[in-house]
Amino acid sequence: MSDGQVTLVRLVRGARRAGARAAVGALVLTAACSRFNPAAFQDSGALYHASLREFRHGHFQRAQAGFQKLSFELTPRDSLFTFARFYLAETYFGARDYVTAAREFRRVSDEAPDSPLAPSALLRAGDSHAQLWRRPELDPTSGQTAIATWQELQGRYPDTQASEISFVRLVRSYRTIGYREEEQETCQHLLQYYPTRADVRELCGNRNPGR
């Protein structure tokens, strides 16, 4: 075998070994992800970030287990407590358990009213009730609760982005149930205070709100 052939054989063998190592590494990573075990975490910060990563990848049940562990072990004085509770509610929403999601979002807003997450929690509580509002003409209860929750948000946290978004939610809800006067009044508010929002222009048009 010539020197060139020997070199080629060595290169091929090296590439195979490197490929095997990469494959093994990928398998180990996959196995680690599939074995996400909140009980194995000793540090609350590490568990929070790992649970958040699972949530962002759409692994709602895994994330839920992590956030539940944090909500049991942390106290309201811990900086991560409210965040863990908020994302626990988000895991229920992601899993389409809207009844539990609404309850958990409400707990965040009521038990931590001064948290920066409180306005968003109220918004998402309303969103959860809206998801339960399948047949407005047959059962308006969930829709009415959603509307009342968004209105509560506007009263408690008027100068927040969540409040701004809730006005858009209201327009769509009023339109669904045929509340024309309420829809027009809410559109006037949106056009006056948030005229540059694309969804506001789409929902309410570009007309002068005073007309």
Three-class DSSP labels, 189-202: HHHHHCCCCHHHHH
**188 burial type by CB count under 10 A (0-12 exposed, 13-18 middle, 19+ buried):** middle
User: What class, spelled out in words, does domain 96-204 have in CATH?
Assistant: mainly alpha
- Mean pLDDT rounded to a whole number for the chain: 85
Average pLDDT over residues 52-61: 97
Contacts of 192 (CB under 8 A, 6+ apart): 209
Q: Say if residue 36's pLDDT is above 50.
A: yes
Q: How far apart are CA 20 and CA 169, in angstroms?
A: 53
Least confidently predicted of 11-15, 76-80, 88-92, 194-198: 11-15
Query: pTM of this prediction?
Result: 0.80
Domain limits, the chain: 1-35, 96-204
